[in-house]
């Protein structure tokens, strides 16, 4: 199974905290933010290749980081999407499509945003797919309605199928948030070109998931744990404290 990390954002909300570095490579508890996710997935033994999509501004930094992973024996490819600033970024779904086309990725493909920390058994997600191959999106119970208004919110069917996904809804229809962690089967990836010809918004990956749920079977994997989305300086400091507290417990 391949892993694709979407890391082409410019981290504009982090301001001076970033100090010219991409969000995914900011140090948290002793190593780059995205490396916490990479290490957790590599430890499962199911990931046999990693692809990282970045932009022109940060391509050199990601290539230097990728080289540290290669020295650990990991197979890592970086892809520069050509964007030079926030205003001309491609958007997450076009980055996904670019990497799929450039490297002829057929699936299964695990796709993750590079600015999330997860605290749940990642092996369970991969086992879920391996035992019953199908497109999966991770969902998490979120009781805080204000947080639900700032993320994707999933409506689930009785069989665990994703019925609808709502991006940042004013009135959340459920308590299931949908973090950016998706496992695409080959059939779902083949629909990317069709989505891009129809979509008006290709920035957030949730827009592709919402469309996909209407054109293809999409199921959910309920995570038993927590996650943090690092978007601003407060979130960055909270992530550092969260990981350090876990180490002490």
Q: Give the DSSP letter of residue 29.
A: T
pLDDT tens for residues 99-126?
999 999 998 999 999 988 898 999 999 9
On average, the pLDDT of the chain sits at 93
Burial (CB count within 10 angstroms: exposed 0-12, middle 13-18, buried 19+), residue 103: middle
pLDDT tier at 248, thresholds 50, 70, 90: low
What's the CATH code of the domain at 216? Answer: 3.90.550.10
Question: Do the beta carbons of residue 170 and residue 149 sit within 8 Å?
Answer: yes
Can you tell me the mean pLDDT for 169-178? 95
43-86 per-position pLDDT tens digit:
999 999 999 999 999 999 999 999 999 999 999 999 999 999 98
Give the residue numbers spanning the domain of 209. 2-248
What is the rounded CA–CA span in Å between residue 225 and residue 121?
8
Number of structural domains found in the chain = 1
For the entire predicted model, the pTM comes to: 0.94
């Amino acid at each position: 199974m391949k892993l694709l990390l979407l890391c082409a954002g410019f981290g504009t909300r982090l301001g001076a905290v970033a100090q010219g570095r991409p969000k995914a490579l900011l140090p948290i508890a002793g190593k780059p933010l995205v490396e916490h996710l990479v290490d957790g997935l590599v430890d499962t033994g199911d990931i046999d290749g990693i692809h990282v999509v970045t932009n022109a501004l940060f391509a050199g930094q990601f290539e230097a980081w990728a080289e540290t992973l290669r020295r650990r024996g990991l197979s890592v490819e970086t892809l520069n999407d050509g964007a030079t600033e926030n205003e001309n970024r491609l958007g997450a779904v076009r980055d996904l499509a670019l990497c799929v086309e450039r490297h002829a990725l057929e699936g299964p493909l695990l796709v993750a945003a590079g600015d999330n920390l997860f605290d749940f058994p990642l092996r369970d997600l991969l086992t879920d797919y391996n035992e019953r191959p199908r497109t999966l999106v991770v969902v998490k119970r979120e009781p805080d309605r204000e947080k639900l208004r700032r993320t994707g919110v999933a409506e689930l069917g009785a069989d665990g199928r994703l019925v609808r996904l709502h991006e940042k809804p004013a009135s959340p229809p459920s308590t299931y948030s949908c973090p950016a962690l998706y496992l695409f089967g080959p059939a779902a990836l083949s629909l990317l070109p069709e989505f891009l010809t129809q979509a008006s918004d290709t920035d957030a990956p949730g827009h592709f998931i919402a469309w996909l749920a209407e054109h293809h079977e999409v199921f959910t994997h309920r995570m038993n744990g927590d996650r943090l989305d690092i978007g601003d300086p407060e979130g960055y400091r909270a992530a550092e404290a969260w990981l350090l507290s876990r180490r002490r417990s």
